[in-house]
Structure 1
């Protein structure tokens, strides 16, 4: 619970005066509480909620603030917290909960009786979900720092309590500060659980932990960090300022700092010495109905989306029949204000790049990415091409690295200038070659550049009746300026009517093309070799400013398009065997209509490969696995 300190000059709400003095040193946790985990019932032991997945890009950190009013002398009621713990155990697999951290003020007076009851209640979760607990000013003598010596709190929640947890890394010599290392999202994370007041020795110990784990992103938890105004804007407290100046700002690893003690909840973002964001949050609900009722906050990390989704709720009320909840229970079951339910956008690779850079994959040689059945493979990093930023002259030949002779020759459309095609070192993160071509095509007037196979290239006439896989990488510029509706990415030339096809939008469109609609929907339209049909696949709207891998896979029966390894929704089930090629050139950079090129592609195109069979996703160009199946 927060108290008014003259030096801070901040208006705070308070219900009681300062905590009573902690019982004499040497008070011990009972044997029953100390062995809670070993004596847990089957419903409490690991496995009840399933298995935590440490490799999933999504995981959750549970945050539990001040529970002091649930452990308040003869007014104690641990039932809400027991239900919270049962929820975390039961939902560990479903929500992929990696860890629980308590923010201090476990109890109201720090008595041996209160701490024994709290320690026993934590037995509900012990052995099932790893956790940390730190001392708040109500758990110990609030006038002391972490050099206070023995206490009933230390007996109940000292280092020996966590010794059996795989996550536990160690504690400071005084026992009041500890750290855990979590394995989540395929990497290790550091959680610092720091006392209500760190001494200079405590600061030095914490710095030593960070120095010993220099590549781990760190979450700092403590009791007194920041207070908030009524609009939820957080401001560092005096103690928070000391932690910021002496520890947080100069350690780029610390990206999230969490405190309790004060209410209302709030948040802010501060810039550290490296110029990076540090998210500072206050979490405390002891002023709410039933002392907060064991309310928790879940920080759901999603490294795939680059976000942390935060929600706040009370499992004790959530477990009750909605029809039987009292009015206050219904009001408190979940909090949805701006400081209780929100999202944080974090580019984790960029944010952690200063201390844990992810080395980019090295370019892969052509031989490593040509599986059985490869009929053509082009990349734009060869010595035949100019340096990045330099236009590619007309007549330049980009060789087919498969050895099948399907070489491409560069030409410009209409009166397009040199800038219509330029070499670039931009590339998709999973692309074998670290280079691409930047096309500056568009309408009004039509302009662009293309690469086409020669008149006698084998690819011009291949029918692919046993299946095929066509792959490429593209990136659309941001901002996406100008008129580019229905621009082509790649295609075979000629009219489908020449192949005897009678279906489709027009007899003058080519027999196979990959295009982009005005809404940036990917369109793959093919006139099969065997069927008189034009099955067409459509994607969602592609993002601008982002590299995208596209794979068109046909197994001899139907075609399925994948974007970034994910099957799109609008893949027709209509039969589709082969491609009705006409012996006319294959083209990268545009699509003909009535055997005439209009606009060209606008954006970047990277490695492009065609294989004469259906590939599995782990054989795509984005896979580092060795091909050959």
Structure 2
């Protein structure tokens, strides 16, 4: 991304424009998709795994840190899309116990979500080491994904079927409790406490808001917890009201599948279990569509990638972008590791979104980069061979590449929003 700044400056010189002025109108946001398989304590040599997968996560954070505006790069904001770590520490959190929720035995899922102390001794410390690299150097957000909750269990009202023939027969998981998440990413913790850009929070930091200035605009970012409950959506609406006129980005974990549909994963849908929570479509209807300041939504959770555009209630466009690479496993294949079905590593892939605000219609160049392979997806010859069959098997190789390297035209942006005076 430093190279992109240099190229922009060169292009500006050739056009007779001040390189400084041109660079000031361009910046990058990094979106970090689900990192759970890197941080997973079972994917480390200490547990007999063939390599330390956490190195890929730490390499991602070093790459981001080296490209921050504070270090001469163009990364102005970082958003992590949830599922930071893998495991849980409780069978069920106290709030759900008090509300009368019950567990159902699940022969398939119970072993995957058995509580372990290694969340607090291995996984969270790795996350702390990674985010410490950017803390104090840039505004950033982390939202909780379902794996970041204290407990994940099969709800007694949605038990597994006697014969499991599809994902719908596995039973419905439910996630609850955020003490683990707040222990690292709480509003009162060192990463965020006292930071002037961290402007609001709710539920102890499970929902949070940040403001950053880049490309001549002040942006509001709101991070929402998994299947955000009504109280979270009401809080978010209040934050928007406190900051009128700011172009607003929403990051949340569960929002869209890799076909671009606003539907939950059939195995874990908090809204189907708990009336306080909201499905992706409900989040759109109750919050996003109603607030014209929201122009961009970023999410993870569902394996693969997708992008959709919808008009909000005011008739303006909202761009919604999914990126989640957790099931990618070429690094494990190369190391001779036989992973279980559905188990991945991630292979170092993350999203960069470079905003160019100079034109009448600003653009976002969306690219996908692996800090392990040190290549863009578009420059990786085996990219489609490695990943297309599992993610988008119906696409041509060329079309699959375009899923991870494309440009968004922010039509109407400058009519909706005003630059910093």
Equivalent residues of 1:53, 1:184 under 8 A apart? no
Alignment of 1:129-208 (within 5 A): 129-140=138-149, 141-142=151-152, 150-159=178-187, 160=189, 161-208=191-238
Greater C-alpha Rg: 1
Q: Which residue of 1 aligns with 2:244?
A: 214
Question: How far apart in 2 are the matches of 1:309 and 1:329?
Answer: 20
Alignment of 1:329-478 (within 5 A): 337-347=401-411, 350-351=412-413, 353-354=415-416, 356-357=417-418
**In the superposition, relative to structure 1, how do residues 55 and 252 fare at CA in structure 2: closer, same or farther (>3 Å)?**
farther
**Which residue of 328, 332, 346 maps to 1:292?**
346
Q: Secondary structure at the match of 2:372?
A: helix
**Which residue of 282, 285, 288 maps to 1:248?**
288
Map Cα deviations across residues 368-413 of structure 1 (whole Å, 9 max, x no partner).
xxxxxxxxxxxxxxxxxxxxxxxxxxxxxxxxxxxxxxxxxxxxxx
Map Cα deviations across residues 259-297 of structure 1 (whole Å, 9 max, x no partner).
111022111111100111111111000111242233211
**In the superposition, relative to structure 1, how do residues 97 and 146 fare at CA in structure 2: closer, same or farther (>3 Å)?**
farther
Higher relative contact order (CA 8 A, sep 6+): 2
**Which residue of 29, 52, 61 maps to 2:29?**
61
Alignment of 1:469-488 (within 5 A): none
Shift of 1:174: 3.6
Shift of 1:150: 4.9
Question: How far apart in 2 are the matches of 1:308 and 1:326?
Answer: 24
Question: How far apart in 1 are the matches of 2:183 and 2:201?
Answer: 14
Question: How far apart in 1 are the matches of 2:326 and 2:316?
Answer: 32
**In the superposition, relative to structure 1, how do residues 57 and 327 fare at CA in structure 2: closer, same or farther (>3 Å)?**
closer
TM-score where L is the length of structure 2: 0.64
**Which residue of 76, 91, 97 maps to 2:75?**
97
Q: Which residue of 2 aligns with 1:317?
A: 373
Equivalent residues of 1:81, 1:293 under 8 A apart? no
2:212 equivalent to 1:236: no
Q: Which residue of 2 aligns with 1:522?
A: none
Question: How far apart in 2 are the matches of 1:186 and 1:210?
Answer: 20
Instruction: Report the number of matched residues.
Output: 296
**In the superposition, relative to structure 1, how do residues 317 and 139 fare at CA in structure 2: closer, same or farther (>3 Å)?**
same
Question: How far apart in 1 are the matches of 2:353 and 2:54?
Answer: 24
Q: Which residue of 1 aligns with 2:85?
A: 107
RMSD: 3.3
Equivalent residues of 1:78, 1:118 under 8 A apart? no
Question: How far apart in 2 are the matches of 1:217 and 1:69?
Answer: 33
**Which residue of 272, 277, 283 maps to 2:323?**
283
Q: Secondary structure at the match of 1:214?
A: coil
Map Cα deviations across residues 423-457 of structure 1 (whole Å, 9 max, x no partner).
xxxxxxxxxxxxxxxxxxxxxxxxxxxxxxxxxxx
**Which residue of 29, 50, 63 maps to 1:87?**
63
Question: How far apart in 2 are the matches of 1:279 and 1:205?
Answer: 22
Equivalent residues of 1:317, 1:329 under 8 A apart? no
Question: How far apart in 1 are the matches of 2:194 and 2:348?
Answer: 25
Question: How far apart in 2 are the matches of 1:83 and 1:131?
Answer: 18
Q: Which residue of 1 aligns with 2:253?
A: 223
Q: Which residue of 2 aligns with 1:623?
A: none
Question: How far apart in 2 are the matches of 1:329 and 1:153?
Answer: 35
Shift of 1:357: 5.0
Q: Secondary structure at the match of 1:274?
A: coil
Question: How far apart in 1 are the matches of 2:418 and 2:214?
Answer: 17
Shift of 1:120: 1.9
Question: How far apart in 2 are the matches of 1:346 and 1:269?
Answer: 11
Structure 2 residues not aligned, in runs of 5+:
1-19, 45-52, 89-118, 156-172, 265-278, 332-344, 388-397
Map Cα deviations across residues 38-76 of structure 1 (whole Å, 9 max, x no partner).
xxxxxxxxxxxxxx9998110000001001101112324
**In the superposition, relative to structure 1, how do residues 54 and 258 fare at CA in structure 2: closer, same or farther (>3 Å)?**
farther
Structure 1 residues not aligned, in runs of 5+:
1-51, 320-324, 362-629
Question: How far apart in 2 are the matches of 1:340 and 1:149?
Answer: 34
Shift of 1:89: 2.0
Question: How far apart in 1 are the matches of 2:229 and 2:21?
Answer: 37
Map Cα deviations across residues 488-538 of structure 1 (whole Å, 9 max, x no partner).
xxxxxxxxxxxxxxxxxxxxxxxxxxxxxxxxxxxxxxxxxxxxxxxxxxx
Question: How far apart in 2 are the matches of 1:66 and 1:292?
Answer: 8
Larger % of helix: which? Answer: 2
Equivalent residues of 1:146, 1:198 under 8 A apart? no
Map Cα deviations across residues 451-488 of structure 1 (whole Å, 9 max, x no partner).
xxxxxxxxxxxxxxxxxxxxxxxxxxxxxxxxxxxxxx
**In the superposition, relative to structure 1, how do residues 147 and 83 fare at CA in structure 2: closer, same or farther (>3 Å)?**
closer
